[in-house]
Amino acid sequence: MRRRPGRSKEAPELDITAFLNLMVVLVPFLLVSAVFSRITILELNLQGGAPSEADDKPQMNIEVIIRQGSIELRGNQKVIAKMNKIDNKNYVEGLVQEPTKPINEKQIYDLPALSKHLLKIKASYPDKLDALILLEPDIEYRNLVGVMDAVRGAEIKKAAEDGGEPQTERKVLFPDISIGDAP
Amino acid sequence: MRHDSRRMKRMARNHKKTPGMNLTSLMDVFTILVFFLLTNSASDEALQNPKVITLPASVVETKPKETVVILVTPENILIQGKVVADTPDVVNRQANIIEEIKNELELQRSRTLVTDEEELPEVNILADRRAQFSLLKKIMSSCTSAGYAKISLAVIQKSSQGQ
């Protein structure tokens, strides 16, 4: 900064009282109206119409079946993979469940394995966008949402070129999801 | 020693007028806080987070739209804030289509102005994360039978790392 000659070296004091008052009022006001958990929506493709059968490309019907103890992945009516539930690393014995906290389960669905299989299918059918999720009647809603997340897209970890933190990239898999009853 | 203390007294007397608190860091904190809070203020939210249920978490980023809202709590099913059915009763029912929900949705549909014929009516379902699929399926079939073909599930946004 340039200083005019002949001025005293001491910086002139700013009167920031008014600004400070404004801040003191503004901060509590905004704190009250702030949202820390944002609601988003998952769009379903319920009656997406009949798929165009006249396609020349090889068709592949992807079905993910959520059962009580496992997830089954089917393509063209054939079972590709069956993933049993895996042990939850974050399970705490005898923890009292609080309503808003993540649910403390002993076993969880193996979503990373499902992602891996789906990525393989996506690699062979890059134009495929729709998938069908079939559920047993007593599956909880959150499991449906978890599987939907895995089917809609997967995260691929990429090592950074400069050897730093590995970067995650989101890859879209099958975003048009239909829902049905498990056979 | 005496000289020094007298000088200190004089200095103290002269500087008493301006205590000069250093507020710079406080100002910095406030400024950052204000901008942070301004960016996530709730003024433009179409959906309010209901306190009675816990929504499941998902990584989707689609913003909710102004639509008909069905709220599924462990006790009741509400459409646009109006109780239409009891959840345990609906769970125990055999029928796939819940008449109360269907009727209320048809009423909602007749009330809304149709601005665009092409536009399909939409509905948003807010359900507790522990709700069972059989219940959800009944609600969804009721929606489709009432002509609401586009169904969205409301979720809480979570960061992508937290699997």
Q: Kindly list the residues from chain B whose CB atom is less than 8 angstroms away from the CB atom of residue A112.
A: 163
Cα distances (Å, whole numbers) of residue A57 to A77, A125, A127, B13, B123 = 18, 9, 9, 91, 34
The verdict on a CB contact (< 8 Å) between A35 and B40 is yes
Cα→Cα distances A65→A74, A147, B120, B128, B134, Å: 8, 10, 29, 21, 15
DSSP character at residue B160 = T
Rounded distance, CA B160 to CA B163, Å?
7
| Confidence (pLDDT) at B25 | 87
pLDDT > 90 in chain A, percent: 0
Among A41, A140, A146, select the one facing B154 at the smallest CB separation.
Answer: A41
Q: Which region holds residue A76: left if phi is over 0, alpha if psi is between -120 and 50, else beta?
A: left
> DSSP string covering B26-87, please?
HHHHHHHHHHHHHHTBGGG-SS---SSS-PPEE---PPP-S-EEEEE-SSEEEETTEEEEEH
Average pLDDT, chain B: 79
Average pLDDT value for chain A: 78
Residue of B nearest to A108 (CA): B163
Determine the Cα–Cα distance for residues B40 and A26; give it in Å rounded to an integer.
14
| Residues from chain A contacting residue B161 (CB–CB below 8 Å) | 168
What integer pLDDT is reported at residue B129 of this predicted model? Answer: 83
What was the ipTM of the complex prediction? 0.70
At residue B52, what are phi and psi to the nearest 5 degrees? -75, -20
Measured CA to CA in angstroms, residue B96 lies from A52, A78, A85, B82, B151 at distances of: 29, 29, 30, 21, 17
Reference B59, options A175, A98, A117; nearest CA is: A175
Residue of A nearest to B41 (CA): A34
Q: By the 8 A CB rule, do A71 and A151 touch?
A: no
B interface test, pick of A29, A39, A168 with most B CB neighbours within 10 Å:
A39
Q: How far apart are CA A53 and CA A32, in angstroms?
A: 54
CB contact under 8 A, B132 and A139: yes
Give the model confidence (pLDDT) of A95-107 as tens digits.
Answer: 777 766 777 777 8
Give the predicted TM-score (pTM) of the model.
0.73
Q: How many CB pairs under 8 A join A and B?
A: 156
Contact B156 A39 (CB under 8 A): yes
| Positions of chain B with pLDDT lower than 50, given as ranges | 162-163
pLDDT at residue A50, rounded to an integer: 47
